[in-house]
Amino acid sequence: MAPVALDVAHKLEETFQPSVLTAKAKLPSLTESYKTLPAQWMRDESIFELEKRAIFSKVWLLTSHTCHFSKPGDYISGNYVFSYFIIRDRDDNYQAFHNFDEVEGFDKAANGLFKIHTHVTPQGFIFLNFDASPNPVPFEEHFAQLPAEWKDTDFSEYEPYYNRQALGNFNWKVMTDGYQECYHCPIAHPGFADSLDLKNYQVEPLTNSARHSAPKKSNPEEMQRFTFVFPTNGVTVTPEMWYIMRTVPLSATTTRMEFDVRAIITVFSRKGVSQDVLLENREFFTQVQKEDFDLCEGVQRGLNAGVYSTGVLHPKEENGVLYYQSRVLHYCESHLEAERRTGKEIHPSRPSQEASSDSCSASRICSELDEGKGTLAW
């Protein structure tokens, strides 16, 4: 494959080879600090493929919680761009592996299991890193103080309550844009406006995460907190319930909304809370989620029309959006630069034995067909 044409000093003017980015797709500059990512980033499949290589293949992804495992031998399976399963072993440790059950002809006995890097926080949150190298970015370096955001919550006091899932026709970043600000809340979420002091809603970027907070109108001294976990997760904890929101990309324009694992939303309620209070909270959060969902599908229809190109973000009200989009850009830009140097796509999640099996005649033919595009590389 021809090397990627990327000049960091002139990245706004450069274009890339179709095998990496669609022709004319441009990488925005970090110096344009108040500009949104171009609309093409919300609908282009080649950019989505880049994000899979640059982000989802090598950052720590919040996938589940230990409350799903009651004893050794318990396991769950899921998909976060890549399929996986997590098992609690006999030593009460948690291990994760690629799930090849859906791959026809794959012999696990002959090929073994491909292990996935796993990290469990003191609060029980399970993170996976699909980087196949032996030394992925250290969890503490990647997230710094993030686990401390939940240090005051005893998650053992909660139990499963209800499940939901939804498939949306929008890019994963459209949903994350909305989660990272509450500028739209007074109009789009009247329930939020009734219960929270949105004039004092704050977003504080951390390290690959962000702290959201707003005073409750019923008690201004009490804060409602939400935590954004890069790249697509949100954790909400209230006295009555808590849940993990996952925005799982399926394509450039489709997304599966999950809360926790097993492709379903799992909401945990505090033990002893009355059913009336739980139902009120359930209806409230479900309504907010539906409002966001409908808003995202409407935004995506506009992006798909091809009229809108890029916009300007409010430096205060949308500082969370600016922060997370800068992280997306950083990872994609760094990865593209590495691909430019090597002259080929880099897939961090691929186990080395798969990527280097040149002894197989079939593999040699694949490499000579220029990444499966049917064009001989010689």
Per-residue confidence (pLDDT) for residue 33, from 0 to 100: 63
Q: Which amino acid is at 218?
A: S
Residue 333 within a domain? no
Per-residue confidence (pLDDT) for residue 359, from 0 to 100: 47
Whether residue 72 has a cis bond before it, omega within 30° of 0: no
Give SS3 for 68: helix
Residue 49 within a domain? no
Domain of residue 212 covers: 61-304
Q: Which residues contact 352 (CB under 8 A, 6 or more apart)?
A: 132
Residue 313 within a domain? no
Per-residue confidence (pLDDT) for residue 208, from 0 to 100: 96
Q: Which amino acid is at 363?
A: S
Per-residue confidence (pLDDT) for residue 81, from 0 to 100: 94
Per-residue confidence (pLDDT) for residue 330, from 0 to 100: 95
Measured CA distances, 233 to 41, 147, 263, 292, 372 (Å): 19, 14, 14, 15, 33
Token digits of residue 253: 């324009």
Per-residue confidence (pLDDT) for residue 372, from 0 to 100: 47
Per-residue confidence (pLDDT) for residue 376, from 0 to 100: 38
Report which of 152, 96, 150 is spatially closest to residue 127, judged by C-alpha positions. Answer: 96
Per-residue confidence (pLDDT) for residue 273, from 0 to 100: 75
Per-residue confidence (pLDDT) for residue 249, from 0 to 100: 97
Residue 350 within a domain? no
As a whole number of angstroms, the distance between CA 142 and CA 91 comes to 27
Residue 339 within a domain? no
pTM over 0.75: yes
Residue stretches of the chain with pLDDT short of 50: 1-31, 103, 261-265, 354-359, 370-378
Domain count, the chain: 1
Residue 347 within a domain? no
As a whole number of angstroms, the distance between CA 160 and CA 154 comes to 15
Per-residue confidence (pLDDT) for residue 122, from 0 to 100: 94
